[in-house]
Structure 1
């Protein structure tokens, strides 16, 4: 019974319009209004900005209209250099939640944000603020394997 419910749910999700659905790679190609990294979670676009002693989360809807942070809360788990740091964000006016402290800025930083808007529902998103995808690199990589002569690695075997 549970499997049938899940299958029905996934089938229903497949029928939803995808015009506004953006994957992380697409969002990484966009210029974020505050210089951070964008992610989509539920009804929101979240922008995470990490700058040394300041961590900010900006909320907009899918049309990039600011969404109030009043009554919202967020928890961020940061992972960098094999260390975990948990941070609570509080509303800081307009569409921003914020925290002060010492935050990692290393290239391997990963962050998981759990946002609780004023209505109580929770949404989450994973960020890699200092590792943004590059479509052009992926695009070139894909093309290098289209021709059969590029797929043969015999030359590399003789160099060892």
Structure 2
């Protein structure tokens, strides 16, 4: 179990390579949170993670427009201090979502492995 935590920690340390919202880009759409979450861009797709103690939501935007998540899935790994929690997200309207009890707060790190159309992508977040 400690090895998994170490691997997750190393993966999260690499999060600095992900473009965060607010940076200047050469394309027309903005990367502002539309649902009160944290936005990162991976391969021209915006991922917005909204993490609350009772729900984890992930919104996807392609070129500024909501992406079809009806056949998508995601697994989010949350790291809060030394605690690790894995959450499976399922389609719920215009987002991927899970409800339950989650330990989240400022500084929580999250890694989302999202599969859309059979293609996986990894997005890394640090909650504010």
Common fold, TM-score beyond 0.5? Answer: yes
Cα offset for 1:64? 1.0
Whose Rg is larger? 1
The gaps in structure 2 that reach 5 residues or longer are: 1-17, 24-29
Cα offset for 1:71? 0.6
Aligned length: 105
SS of the residue 1:122 aligns to: strand
Closer/same/farther in 2, CA of residues 70 and 34 from structure 1, 3 Å limit: same
SS of the residue 2:60 aligns to: strand
Other-structure match for 2:121: 123
- State the structure with bigger RCO (CA 8 A, min sep 6), 1 or 2: 2
For the residues of structure 1 that align with 2:44 and 2:114, how far apart are their CA atoms? Answer: 11
Higher strand share: 2
Query: Does 2:89 correspond to 1:93?
Result: no
What per-residue deviation string (whole Å, max 9, x for no partner) do you get for residues 71-104 of structure 1?
Answer: 100000000021100000000012x000001112
Scaled by the length of structure 1, what TM-score is found? Answer: 0.61
Scaled by the length of structure 2, what TM-score is found? Answer: 0.75
Other-structure match for 1:48: 49
For the residues of structure 1 that align with 2:77 and 2:96, how far apart are their CA atoms? Answer: 15
